[in-house]
Chain A
Amino acid sequence: MTTTVTSHRPQPPAQPVTLRAKRLPAYAAPAVAVVALLVAAGIVYGAGIGGPVLVVVLGALLYLAGLYAAANAVEGRRSARNRTWSALIHSAFVLAVLPLASVVWTLVSKGAERLDGNFFLTSMNNIGARDANGGAYHAIVGTLEQVGIAALITVPLGVLCAIYVVEYGRGRFAFTIRFFVDVMTGIPSIVTGLFVLAFWVLIVSPFFNDGRPGFSGFAAALALSVLMLPTVVRSSEEMLRLVPAPLREGAYALGVPKWKTVLRVVLPTALPGIVTGIMLAIARAAGETAPVLLVAGGGAAINFNPFENNQSSLALFVYQQAGEASKYSPARAWTAALTLVALVLILTVAAKLLARRNRLGR
């Protein structure tokens, strides 16, 4: 009996005799890469079927195959797979970064031409098609004011909404709010522009404007805040949910009321993540053209007052200059695009630094 029992026992996998194994030398991978590129170049130029891009693509494929073959021959199958997958993951990273680097390079190289004092200190007022000057001062003012007002509206509303949903919301009402926030995420920006045009510009604003519809930067800010709201709510919500429950209980156990726990313990803990979400929303809003075009009306002159008369914005400026029939306008469009990206970058870095300032250094 006992002998049959032992024979049914599954055998453990064979133990390796030695822990050492043959490894490819360190120069092997670069050597394979060089050979692959040379072979690819030979094939592509020999057959005359393409340029350097095809060489790199073909070289990469040959490199993967060559690396697998070399590693398989020396190190064995498991190691060969490992190397191939690592190489694939690295190439995926390069593929993802490539467009980004390309965009930055294009912006910098083409935007540098008009990157001068004149661009930042003048507007497009009275600039004709033959004028080389003219700048985006009015558009920068417009973007800052519109995005600023939109953020002032959205951030408190969005964060409070997220707090309600995470900390207080129970049952159907909270579920409904979450559902509609999700729906709002999918609203195209032009639709929010149309909504504000129909609701604010054509119906509400005539009451303040002697019966005439009032295009204004504020109307654009309203449209942008409709766009930003779902992003802020969803990202804040996720961040608040990440705050561990024992922290809340720790505060409750000290006799701290719930609202104070949320304000002084939960929010500060989630703050860096919430700021990231807000900055994403601001970056998206700053790049929107359609709502500004519809409800702020654009305009070439500097207008500091967001509540009256037309205002432009950087995104709208890029759109208008790109379509202008003047040989000077494409350069202005590129510089404005570069300015917009730089502005969002500066705002993001500043916000991250501010959020970190409150955290304690180790």
Chain B
Amino acid sequence: MAKRIEATNVTAYYGAFKAIENINLTVEPKTVTALIGPSGCGKSTFLRSINRMHEVLPGARVEGSLTIDNQDIYDRDVDVTAVRRMIGMVFQRPNPFPTMSIFENVVAGLRLNGVKKKSILEEAAEKALRSANLWDEVKDRLGKPGAGLSGGQQQRLCIARTIAVEPQVVLMDEPCSALDPISTLAIEDLMFQLKDKFTIIIVTHNMQQAARVSDRTAFFSIEKTGDPGRLIEYDNTQKIFSNPSVKKTEDYITGRFG
């Protein structure tokens, strides 16, 4: 089910601007990997290049190789939608589809990919909502608009929507940055449960969160504004937070950064 991701010399550009350079990193299946680092260091860019979301922006491109179970996702004959079906993504801000109800939002991925049978959709919706710890809160109002939920509920709705299509990897781009501590806790609990089935990569600015939820941590940084982001250190989370081998990492996680 869950897949291993290998990045080799990944370099990403926005037009002429080089955002990240030569990222080498391997993510093991069924683990949570946290990407940390200062703003603008390319964590999100790297995350978005894993499911080929980076190239959605005009002028953006990726070099190097990114493989998922030894298939290069940047191969010429790779179908982008297939990659994205395999690698789901949760965004920083909850983005439920405003014209759809809660139910329709959850099954949007299935329905828009051709699943029509009502019983299958209902079953998948309940399963996804239960996994996202949202079922009890919304089961009586599945027909109501998804945009009417609170911020934390919307984010869990977006997670439910992502896992409803049963991807093998889930990317999360600061999924809790707009949420209160209680919703954050709910989503962190969720990550623990999801780890059994999915490979999770999460970008976060919250050190405690990275320490709590992740098995491995990657620290990204830049020399100065305008320079490309680089991977400074990648190791077991415990090691990174207790005994990092690079001085820069230690400075960052202890708050003595620049």
State whether these chains interact: yes
Contact across chains for B93 and A246 when beta carbons are under 8 A apart: yes
Q: Which interface class (under 10, 10 to 19, 20 to 34, 35 or more) fits B? A: 20 to 34
Interface presence of B246 (CB below 8 A) = no
Cβ of A130 under 8 Å from chain B: no
Whether A254 lies near B99 (C-beta < 8 A) is no
Chain B contacts for A170, CB-based, 8 A: 58
State whether A257 touches B144 (Cβ < 8 A).
no
* Known contacts A255-B84, A255-B113; A269 and B99 CB within 8 A of each other: yes
A252 to B171, CA, bound (A): 13
Does the CB pair B145–A268 fall under 8 Å? no
Nearest chain B CB to A127's CB is how many angstroms away? 51
Instruction: Give the residues from 81 to 110 in chain B that come closer than 8 angstroms, CB to CB, to chain A.
Output: 81-86, 88-89, 91, 93, 95-101, 108-109
Q: Is the CB of B95 within 8 A of A244?
A: yes
Complex Cα–Cα for A362 and B167 (A) = 31
Residue A358 is within 8 A (CB to CB) of chain B in the complex? yes
Option from B51, B101, B161, B165 in Cβ contact (under 8 Å) with A360: B101
Q: Are A256 and B113 in contact (CB under 8 A)?
A: yes
Assuming the contacts A246-B95, A252-B56, asked whether A362 and B148 have C-beta atoms less than 8 A apart, the reply is yes
Nearest-neighbor residue (CB-CB) of A265 within chain B? B97
Asked whether A255 lies within 8 Å of B99 as measured between CB atoms, the reply is no
Contacting residue for B84 out of A244, A253, A269, CB 8 A? A253
| Contacting residues, chain A, for B82 (C-beta < 8 A) | 255
Q: Is A249 in contact with chain B by the CB < 8 A criterion?
A: yes
User: Would you call A211 an interface residue if the criterion is a C-beta within 8 Å of the partner chain's C-beta atoms?
Assistant: no
Q: Is B158 on the interface with A (CB-CB < 8 A)? A: yes
* Docked CA distance A32–B86 (Å): 72
CB–CB A268/B99 < 8 A: yes
CA distance A271 to B100 in the complex (A): 13
A90 at the interface (CB under 8 A from B): no
- Contact: B112 with A251, CB < 8 Å? yes
Task: Specify which chain A residues have a CB less than 8 angstroms from the CB of B99 in the assembled complex.
Answer: 265, 268-269, 271, 358-360
Please list 12 pairs of residues, one from A and one from B, whose beta carbons are closer than 8 Å in the complex, sorted by A's number: A244-B95, A250-B97, A251-B112, A252-B53, A254-B112, A255-B86, A255-B165, A261-B112, A265-B108, A359-B99, A360-B100, A362-B148
Chain B interface residues (CB < 8 Å from chain A): 51, 53, 56, 58, 81-86, 88-89, 91, 93, 95-101, 108-109, 112-113, 143-145, 148, 158, 161-162, 165, 167
